[in-house]
Amino acid sequence: MGRKLAGGLSLADADAFYDRTDGPNVRRVLEESLPANLTLMMTATGEISSGGLTFLITPSSSRTTREK
């Protein structure tokens, strides 16, 4: 809703938008999704970690580096 309010919608319009679009999608994901078997976390510097492995993805390259 914050992005809709920031975009100039009234609270009532932002609330109605959420009820029509984002709300049903959030509920569907929370109610119907299976648990993840892999969780990735991205740091502020762009590193992605999972299970002790760290990946650094650079915008100028399609290559990734893998570190243990």
Cα 63 from Cα 68, distance rounded (Å): 17
Per-domain boundaries in the chain: 1-33, 37-68
Q: How far is CA 28 from its chain centroid?
A: 16
Q: What pLDDT sits at residue 60?
A: 63
Q: What is the pLDDT of residues 7-65, one digit of tens each?
A: 999 999 999 999 999 999 999 999 999 988 888 888 888 888 887 766 666 666 555 55
Give pLDDT, residue 6.
94
| pLDDT at residue number 24 | 96
Q: Specify the pLDDT at position 49.
A: 82
Q: 0.75 cut: is pTM over it?
A: no
